[in-house]
């Protein structure tokens, strides 16, 4: 089916005869394959008598050949998977040796932080998991999610979105709307040798989703720019930025990048509520410390918070 999708990705009409000749099947077989594509990947394919078939909207499909030359890490491109992070863990369990990269055209059970689902339509966004081997214990990954955020920030700016900024700990926003998120997962011995899966989700070409599927304001690079984005080029940019920032983090730790991160934090100095389960703390954002933990001024006293289950929100009186 992949060759058929590649022929249709331009969003233009293609006749059944043209498609059949290109991939060596009959016109009747083309219609059956198109129906299978619609069902498997939840695509909408239009059929018009006398003109042929076309996708509802053009796609920028990922290319194994282009991705293989777009970074220092071996890459596996999947058409569909439950979750790239879950697939990364399965590959580790069966003996795959890091570093390696898993990218998918679609996730059927994409995951975000705090148990949330990550909406993952076929061929529109980026679903990306980089697996690294970490030696020397947990201190080696202090601030890592914030470092990944900086790499992602610059990749999105390189694509033309200048107004993107960071939100502690793992989100990137444009005009208050989420455009990307990060999910780090660890396995192995946290005191010695372990593996970290760096999961990245970026809304690249997503145009719309059902109203109640995403529970927060969102946007995509395409919505901001008003045009389709080449996803292969975006992966290339992201790989280059990740290599640069991971190298810096490995040499000097997060402390050397702390001021850059704070300079791009959208909520620096803002009044916020920090939720941990049913409890919440209100304060003003002072910044982060050398480990990437959040520093809050709470009634004139500085407090430091870290942990994967924390959720930061602007207070209502700080939204103006």
Tens-digit pLDDT profile for residues 145-166: 999 999 999 999 999 999 999 9
Residue list, annotated binding site: 83-85, 107, 111-113, 178
pLDDT of residue 128: 97
User: How would DSSP label each residue in 233-271?
Assistant: HHHHHHHHHHHHHHHHHHHH-GGGGHHHHHHTBTTTT-E
What architecture (CATH level 2) is domain 64-262? 2-Layer Sandwich (3.30)
- The ranges of the chain with pLDDT < 70 are 1, 70, 111-118, 209-215, 308, 317-320
- The fold of 267-318 is SH3 type barrels. (2.30.30)
CATH of domain 2-55: 1.10.10.10
8 A C-beta contact, residue 125 and residue 199 = no
pLDDT of residue 211: 55
Q: Is-same-fold flag (2-55; 267-318)?
A: no
Residues 6+ apart with CB under 8 A from 114: 308, 309, 311
- The catalytic site residues sit at 113, 178, 313
> For the range 172-177, what are the long-range contacts, defined as Cβ-Cβ under 8 Å and sequence gap of 24 or more?
173/266, 174/219, 174/224, 175/219, 176/217, 177/217, 177/218, 177/219
What is the spatial distance between Cα 266 and Cα 55, in angstroms, rounded to a whole number? 38
pLDDT of residue 117: 60
* Tokens linked to 297: 């001024």
pLDDT of residue 3: 86
What ranges do the domains of the chain cover?
A: 2-55, 64-262, 267-318
pLDDT of residue 69: 74
Residue list, annotated binding site for biotin: 83-85, 107, 111-113, 178
pLDDT of residue 180: 97
């Amino acid at each position: 089916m992949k060759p058929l999708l590649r022929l249709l990705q331009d969003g233009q009409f293609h006749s059944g005869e043209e498609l059949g000749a290109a991939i060596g099947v009959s016109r009747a077989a083309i219609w059956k394959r198109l129906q299978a594509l619609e069902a498997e990947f939840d695509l909408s394919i239009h059929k018009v008598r006398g003109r042929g078939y076309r996708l509802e909207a053009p796609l920028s499909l990922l290319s194994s050949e282009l991705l293989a030359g777009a970074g220092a890490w071996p890459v596996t491109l999947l058409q569909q998977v439950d979750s790239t992070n879950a697939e990364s863990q399965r590959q580790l369990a069966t003996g795959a040796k890091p570093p390696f990269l898993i990218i998918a055209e679609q996730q059927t059970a994409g995951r975000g932080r705090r148990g949330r689902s990550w909406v993952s339509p076929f061929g529109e966004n980026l679903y990306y998991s980089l697996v690294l081997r970490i030696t020397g214990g947990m201190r080696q990954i202090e601030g890592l999610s914030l470092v990944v955020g900086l790499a992602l920030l610059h990749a999105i700016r390189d694509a033309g979105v200048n107004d993107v900024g960071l939100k502690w700990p793992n989100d990137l926003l444009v005009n208050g709307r989420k455009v990307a998120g990060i999910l780090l997962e660890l396995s192995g011995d946290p005191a010695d040798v372990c593996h970290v899966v760096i999961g990245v989700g970026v809304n690249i070409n997503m145009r719309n989703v059902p109203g109640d599927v995403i529970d927060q304001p969102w946007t995509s690079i395409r919505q901001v720019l008003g045009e389709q984005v080449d996803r292969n080029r975006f992966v290339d940019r992201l790989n280059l930025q990740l290599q640069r920032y991971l190298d810096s983090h490995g040499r000097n730790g997060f402390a050397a990048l702390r001021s850059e991160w704070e300079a791009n934090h959208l909520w620096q100095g803002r009044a916020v509520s920090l939720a941990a389960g049913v409890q919440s703390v209100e304060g003003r954002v002072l910044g982060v410390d050398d480990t990437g933990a959040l520093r809050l001024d709470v009634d004139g006293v500085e407090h430091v918070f870290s942990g994967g289950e924390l959720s930061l929100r602007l207070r209502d009186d700080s939204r103006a």
